[in-house]
Structure 1
Amino acid sequence: MRVVVLGDIGQSIYHVGDEAMTHAVVDELQARGITDIVLLSRNPEQSSKLYGTAAVKTLKFPWPPNRRETYLKEIQAVLAGDMDALPAADQVHTLIETIKSSDGVVIAGGGNMNSPYGWLLYERAAVGAIANALDKPLVISGQTVGPVLTGPDYDAAVELFRSAALSSVREQTSFELMREAGVPAGLTLDDASFLKAGPVDAAYSSAVPTYQPSPDRPYIVASFAPGTGAMDRDDFNQGVADLLDRIADAGQVDVVMVPHMSRPGNRDMDMETHEDIRRRMRSKNVTVCGQFTAEDAASLTMRAEFVVASRYHPIVFALAVGVPCLGIAVDYYGEVRLGGALANWGLGHTLRSLRHVVTPGFDDYVDLLWNRRNDIRAYLQDLSPAQSSFQSTWWDAVVETLKGATLDAPVLSTPEPVFPELHSGEHPAAAKLTANNESHIGHQSVELYRLTHALEDTTGTLAAVEAEHEKLRVALEDSAGKLSAVETESNELQNQLRALETSLVVRVARRLKLLRA
């Protein structure tokens, strides 16, 4: 049985989370007897080496909204039989053949089914449309949908989910959005929640510099993205430095900064952010690691004493094995994902956003969370077997669906919130108002992006029309000049003819006169 798997992999920027989710899909399929797997990747050669499977080029969609919408319509036209809708050399034809030779398609988990990452949403919509046209079962696993979805993008996302034989989302917000759209998607944990950890004595050699855990020296993992939302970057990074110093001083622990995104061979993005945070810290026992593979990053995180992150997957890795964590969201997109991951374990109320970290009580909260870490660890470890069993049920359903079964998507029973003393105290109405404001701004930003590129395309079209008009004007002037020359030549010939006729008449008259004489 051959299965095509689409994940956001093989990027020029290595992303631990995206790679981890695809690793999890491959692991779970292989554990259930599906070994003929074809990955869709931006760098098939790299992905084939990392995963040990076949890999082919995925579709590359344009970023501007109007252009990606047009390209999806052209692909849909090809699937409907209009082979003139796209050139014969277009990339989609190769992908159609790849999916045609498979028995089913899985779209691995992710957080890109929204308008800000619309080119990735439309890539998935196209893959889903191809699978549907070829009558191949489509499974969509562990997605965040939204929160920002403009009209056309919302329609594309809903149509994609409706075409799936089985689908799931990974947090309550996305689950409610799908149910409101009439889509029977399930609710599951993130795909990479139970990614296989490496051996205890792993060397973690995929990164330089690296960190080697010591049995007698606890450490915390910190992972921060460059984005700081509405907060000044210097202020945010200084706040993180103070936070990490506070924990390191209290626990006599090492601070291990694990990047989740960077360009291979460069110490940029997360690593650059981590270096800036380290420069601001008082503590000296800080390691800014290089870029780990997804497996090493997950394994190192799973063995930590505590995790602090604005990145999503450090929180996912930590929760599954009982590591207490502090998630910090810098925007509403982060609140949906980080808060959703925590809520799936009964800890959604422990999330803190920018509006919380700037309050005087934040330090007290950090102290309280740190002091309750052993209780939190015991709670998570007690819950983990049931969560793991549920997630295993999901993967069983995925494989059965690929084999042709028709099943209802499982829905995670979300635990009731625990440790109420860790609640921020923010009223739900205030949180909802903030969410609505950020969503509104997000929609406006996407629409502005759409209009900007639509204007560029219109301007380009107008310029092309004007250029064609100028070409025709020059051609017309040239034709007019040639016509004038022809008319002049014609007049000259007519004059010559008249002159010739006059000369002939004169000669004839003279001859007649001579004859009379």
Structure 2
Amino acid sequence: MNKPKILMLSDITGLGPDYHVGDEAMAEVAIDRLKALVGAENLILGCASPEKVPTTYGIRAFSFYHTPSKEFKALLFKKPLSFFKAIFTNIYQVIKCDKVVICGGGNMTSEWPGVLEARLRLLKVANFFKKDVYFVSQTVGPFTNNHRKQVDAIYAPAKWIGVRDKNFSHTQVSHKVSFALDDACFLEKKHNEYTKDISNKNTNYACVAMRKFGPMSDDDTRKIGSCIQQVISKDSLNTVFIPHHAPEGTEGDIKLINSIEDLWEENTLHIVNPIPLASSLKALTADSEYVISMRYHQLIFALSIGVPCIGIYVNEYTKAKLTGSFESLGLEPLVTHYNDVESNLPMLVQRAKANRHSFESAANSFLQNMTADSMKPYELLAAEVS
């Protein structure tokens, strides 16, 4: 009997200008667990930008591009070598492994069709060669009708479909799903010198994470930012803005906060830039009074360490994720639609602060009781093979 060779798929880059905090947080936990169980030499990870993965996480990586099916089919005529290279890469990597695991980051959802369709292509190959397939720490769906049919067919042989919400993902697929807390709940919080200095200089602060998503306009962003600033300033707190994704180091969340930083008085806003490792941001979160977030994993960081928090969602997909983050720890979801922040946010912040003990109790009890459920798919993945 031998330790299995495991092919991982995760939408990560490793530490660098395209680092995505939430995706990398989940991947870091999954990689650390599997390294401990089967050894780094038995892991290989497919992602679109694999260059920094070996130095960040200590495992091998290969290029796995998230090309939507329509564009992929067009490659046959436009770039046939690229088309066949992608197919043979999938076949080669699947044949070499014993098991396949889809882990965070990146969810199987029609919200991200390129990620979904590229993974479905590889999973078809895995099913053909009868490889054991596992899904961990996922939000499943929502799907278009066409995607739903494909997912139901390809998920059928899966050994484990692990989801991180209690009331949504099971409605999106016609197969048994198993709930466990988001893997990032188990990420160790570790200050580096940079985040420790931010914490010390700001002393009393609230953490904020924002993103421009879906139908949001620049005016919407400014309205939300203004409301957040007013709520935090009434509590005589500084604001520490935690970007979760800033492509090229200047876009995304960094561009967003730079466009509205004039809403804050001088020396009351600290923008975390550059983005450090997720474990350091979790430590920075732990030192805050409360969190207001449009980012799912900023809520996960807060909830898993007992920090009061409020979520702001944009659509069905983000509502399911943010609501599910609270429900997974047995808490009432303190969330609001972005159009309702002016009327709802002040009240939600007051409720969060008043219920600090509930947040702390939930973090302590649920993490203690649910570690075994979180580890189960990894233990199955690590089972020896002949």
Q: TM-score, normalised by structure 1?
A: 0.66
**Which position in structure 2 is the counterpart of 1:237?**
222
Identity level (%): 25
1:56-455 aligned within 5 A: 56-62=62-68, 66-67=70-71, 70=73, 89-110=84-105, 112-147=107-142, 149-178=143-172, 181-199=173-191, 202-204=192-194, 212-214=198-200, 217-227=203-213, 229-230=214-215, 232-250=217-235, 252-264=236-248, 266-282=249-265, 284-290=267-273, 291-359=275-343, 362-370=345-353, 372-386=354-368, 389-403=369-383
1:37 to 43, 50, 64: 43
Provide structure 1 residue ranges, at least 5 long, that are not aligned to the other structure.
Answer: 75-84, 406-517
Contact 2:141–2:169 (CA under 8 A) maintained in structure 1: no
Aligned-partner Cα distance in 2 for 1:303–1:157:
41
Contact 1:166–1:401 (CA under 8 A) maintained in structure 2: no
Q: CA deviation at 1:24?
A: 1.3
Structure 1 stretch 127-136 or stretch 338-347: which is displaced more? 127-136
Q: CA deviation at 1:345?
A: 1.6
Aligned-partner Cα distance in 2 for 1:32–1:218:
40
Q: Which secondary structure state, in structure 1, belongs to the residue aligned with residue 333 of structure 2?
A: helix
Contact 1:197–1:295 (CA under 8 A) maintained in structure 2: yes
Q: CA deviation at 1:332?
A: 1.9
Aligned-partner Cα distance in 2 for 1:23–1:6:
13
One-letter code of the match for 1:118? P
Q: CA deviation at 1:54?
A: 0.8
Over residues 387-436 of structure 1, what are the superposed CA-to-partner deviations in whole Å (9 max), with x where a residue is unaligned?
xx42433323332245269xxxxxxxxxxxxxxxxxxxxxxxxxxxxxxx
Over residues 319-369 of structure 1, what are the superposed CA-to-partner deviations in whole Å (9 max), with x where a residue is unaligned?
11111111111222210111111111223431111243243x543333333
Aligned-partner Cα distance in 1 for 2:106–2:61:
22
Contact 2:304–2:367 (CA under 8 A) maintained in structure 1: no
Over residues 240-273 of structure 1, what are the superposed CA-to-partner deviations in whole Å (9 max), with x where a residue is unaligned?
23323322331x3331101011123x32210121
Aligned-partner Cα distance in 2 for 1:59–1:365:
41
Q: CA deviation at 1:379?
A: 2.6
Q: Which secondary structure state, in structure 2, belongs to the residue aligned with residue 38 of structure 1?
A: strand
Contact 1:255–1:287 (CA under 8 A) maintained in structure 2: yes
Contact 1:110–1:144 (CA under 8 A) maintained in structure 2: no
Q: CA deviation at 1:136?
A: 2.0
Contact 1:248–1:254 (CA under 8 A) maintained in structure 2: yes
Aligned-partner Cα distance in 2 for 1:34–1:124:
24
Counterparts in 2 of 1:142 and 1:217: CA distance versus 1, 3 Å: same
Aligned-partner Cα distance in 2 for 1:55–1:5:
9
Q: Which secondary structure state, in structure 1, belongs to the residue aligned with residue 251 of structure 2?
A: coil
Over residues 171-209 of structure 1, what are the superposed CA-to-partner deviations in whole Å (9 max), with x where a residue is unaligned?
13433324xx4301111222212112215xx2137xxxx
**Which position in structure 2 is the counterpart of 1:459?**
none
Counterparts in 2 of 1:363 and 1:400: CA distance versus 1, 3 Å: closer
Aligned-partner Cα distance in 1 for 2:152–2:379:
23
Contact 1:310–1:328 (CA under 8 A) maintained in structure 2: yes
Number of aligned residues: 375
One-letter code of the match for 1:392? A
Contact 2:10–2:106 (CA under 8 A) maintained in structure 1: no
Counterparts in 2 of 1:117 and 1:231: CA distance versus 1, 3 Å: closer
Q: Which secondary structure state, in structure 2, belongs to the residue aligned with residue 171 of structure 1?
A: coil
Counterparts in 2 of 1:284 and 1:212: CA distance versus 1, 3 Å: closer
Q: Which secondary structure state, in structure 2, belongs to the residue aligned with residue 282 of structure 1?
A: coil
Over residues 125-171 of structure 1, what are the superposed CA-to-partner deviations in whole Å (9 max), with x where a residue is unaligned?
12222222222211111211222x22221122222322311111121
Contact 2:109–2:141 (CA under 8 A) maintained in structure 1: yes
Over residues 286-324 of structure 1, what are the superposed CA-to-partner deviations in whole Å (9 max), with x where a residue is unaligned?
101212233322332233221111011100111111111
Q: Which secondary structure state, in structure 2, belongs to the residue aligned with residue 292 of structure 1?
A: coil
Counterparts in 2 of 1:368 and 1:403: CA distance versus 1, 3 Å: closer
The reply to whether residue 54 of structure 1 matches residue 56 of structure 2 is: no
Q: TM-score, normalised by structure 2?
A: 0.87
If you compute each CA radius of gyration, which structure gives the higher value, 1 or 2? 1
Contact 1:223–1:311 (CA under 8 A) maintained in structure 2: yes
Counterparts in 2 of 1:354 and 1:346: CA distance versus 1, 3 Å: same
One-letter code of the match for 1:103? D
Q: Which secondary structure state, in structure 2, belongs to the residue aligned with residue 349 of structure 1?
A: coil
Counterparts in 2 of 1:88 and 1:333: CA distance versus 1, 3 Å: closer
The reply to whether residue 4 of structure 1 matches residue 7 of structure 2 is: yes
Aligned-partner Cα distance in 2 for 1:122–1:381:
35
Relative contact order, CA 8 A, sep 6+: which one is greater? Answer: 2
One-letter code of the match for 2:224? G
Aligned-partner Cα distance in 2 for 1:14–1:240:
24
